[in-house]
Copies of this chain bind each other. A is one copy, B any other.
Amino acid sequence: MQEIEKALEFIIEIEKLKDVQRKTRPVGLKRYENSAEHSWHVCLCALILKDYSNDPLNIDRVIKMLLIHDLGEIDAGDTIIYSSETGEKKAKEKQGLQRLASLLPGNMNIELVNLWEEFESGETADARFAKAIDRIPPLLHNIYGGGHSWKQYGITKEQVFSLNARIGMGSEVLWSEIRSKLEGAVKDGILK
């Protein structure tokens, strides 16, 4: 198959991310978010919030990471963050990502896998910021949506504060702002 045909096949295959349902609802909407629209949202969030990074960033790499960070979910599905960080789930996502990447010509294949691995490892400044940004919209969905998914999954305030403290690894300023909104949610009784 010609390279261009393979690229178009990849483009059609990744449409399936539009059919991966997440666990939170966009503010103001009565339906769950899908992983494709989430991916768009976090890319634009990263661009808007880039100046709050703890460390110097390459924002273009951060955006690329966020464009592809959920592709593994086409095969693995989405799981709420509070129970998703298992070896089994991550292995399934990695397999899924590798299957998709194998549809691409060689250099693109490697670039995709490397970016995904960097995001997952969360060790570089770009990946730390990308991972921090990835956490923010679902928290806003809960804070401004009556704590819908916290309630649905029985998530406690201890879980929310403990897991999301990692936002501070990418941006202390953003974590401080989000933490104070979470404290508000606790006061309002939507996070128990």
A: which residues have CB within 8 A of B?
4-5, 7-8, 10-12, 14-19, 26-29, 33-34, 36-37, 39-41, 43-45, 47-49, 52, 60, 63-64, 67-68, 104, 108, 136-137, 140, 144, 173-174, 177
| Contact A44 B67, beta carbon cutoff 8 Å | yes
CB-nearest residue of chain B relative to A140? B12
Chain A, interface SS category: helix
Which of A18, A29, A33, A68 has the most chain B CB within a 10 Å cutoff?
A18
Within the assembled complex, what's the spacing in Å between the Cα atoms of A118 and B40? 20
Task: Give the docked Cα–Cα distance between A148 and B139 (Å).
Answer: 37
Instruction: Indicate if the CB atoms of A18 and B43 lie closer than 8 Å.
Output: no
A13 to B: closest C-beta gap in Å: 9
14 of the cross-chain contacts (CB-CB < 8 Å) are A4-B177, A5-B177, A11-B49, A14-B44, A15-B27, A16-B28, A17-B40, A18-B37, A36-B36, A36-B41, A37-B40, A43-B63, A44-B68, A63-B63
Whole-angstrom distance between the alpha carbons of A48 and B13 in the complex?
A: 13
Determine how close the nearest CB of chain B comes to the CB of A179; give it in whole angstroms: 13
Bound-state CA distance A52–B59 (Å) is: 24
